């Protein structure tokens, strides 16, 4: 393994890491929003919307992200919906991630004891106040480990977007291996940059979980 080659590849992988971070950040934030909406319409059993959310979750969780990405990137232009590579990558990540976030949040909401809701109502709280001050904080504390695992999972899933020639970390590695045949150096840099992204996320999630346990939420 050549140090000179590693230093030569460093700026290229840094650019790829920025693309990966950009897609990951947008995809995760939007996945949380989609998951929250799907979670609420199922939890409150909203007519029609509940069935739509359940259908979406089943479709998303039971199809590979690569298939979803190809459908968005190659299929939607057939009906006049043509987006950039970045937008397609984010859309595919959100389509996959939203369902996982919804299930994580739903499990958290359902884990909150019903007596807590009844006690809050007996104290004069309305439906919104019960959710805002009693149910939601506990539910998110319970769901945090699953949400954290989903965040890490979605960051790793961004490696799929290289299939549509988006210059993320995986694309940079494959391109350099194909052009220069420096497989060891390219794969080493790929592993290092994924660790630089994922390790802080994992450590931050573990820290947040410990703080929540010490605070007494989700106990």
Domain boundaries, the chain: 3-215
| CATH fold of 3-215 | MetI-like fold (1.10.3720)
Average pLDDT, 10 consecutive residues per value, the chain (219 residues)? 87 95 96 94 89 95 95 93 93 96 92 86 85 86 92 95 92 91 92 95 89 64
What's the burial of 37, exposed, middle or buried (CB within 10 Å: 0-12/13-18/19+)?
Answer: middle
Q: What local confidence, expressed as pLDDT, does residue 197 receive?
A: 95
Q: Which of 21, 26, 10, 25 is nearest to 173 (CA)?
A: 10
pLDDT tens across 43-52, in order? Answer: 888 889 999 9
CA distance 153 to 62: 15
Q: What local confidence, expressed as pLDDT, does residue 175 receive?
A: 93
CA atoms within 13 Å, Cβ hemisphere of 215: 12
Cα dihedral 70/73/79/81 (nearest 10): 150
CB distance 157 to 65 below 8 Å? yes
Q: What local confidence, expressed as pLDDT, does residue 211 receive?
A: 82
Q: What local confidence, expressed as pLDDT, does residue 217 receive?
A: 56
């Amino acid at each position: 393994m050549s140090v000179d080659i590693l230093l030569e590849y460093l700026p290229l992988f840094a650019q790829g890491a920025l693309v990966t971070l950009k897609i990951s950040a947008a995809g995760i934030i939007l996945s949380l929003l989609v998951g929250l909406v799907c979670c609420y319409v199922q939890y409150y059993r909203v007519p029609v919307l509940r069935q739509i959310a359940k259908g979406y979750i089943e479709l998303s969780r039971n199809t590979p992200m690569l298939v979803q990405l190809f459908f968005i990137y190659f299929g939607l232009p057939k009906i006049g919906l043509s987006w950039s590579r970045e937008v397609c990558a984010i859309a595919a990540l959100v389509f996959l991630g939203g369902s996982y976030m919804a299930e994580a949040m739903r499990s958290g909401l359902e884990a909150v004891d019903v007596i807590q809701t009844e006690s809050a109502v007996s104290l004069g709280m309305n439906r919104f106040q019960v959710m805002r001050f009693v149910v939601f904080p506990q539910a998110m504390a319970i769901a945090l480990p699953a949400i954290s695992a989903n965040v890490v999972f979605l960051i790793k899933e961004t490696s799929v977007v290289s299939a549509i020639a988006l210059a993320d970390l995986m694309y940079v590695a494959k391109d350099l291996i194909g052009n220069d045949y420096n497989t060891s150096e390219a794969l080493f840099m790929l592993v290092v940059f994924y660790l630089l992204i994922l390790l802080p996320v994992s450590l931050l999630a573990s820290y947040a979980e410990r703080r929540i346990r010490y605070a007494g939420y989700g106990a």
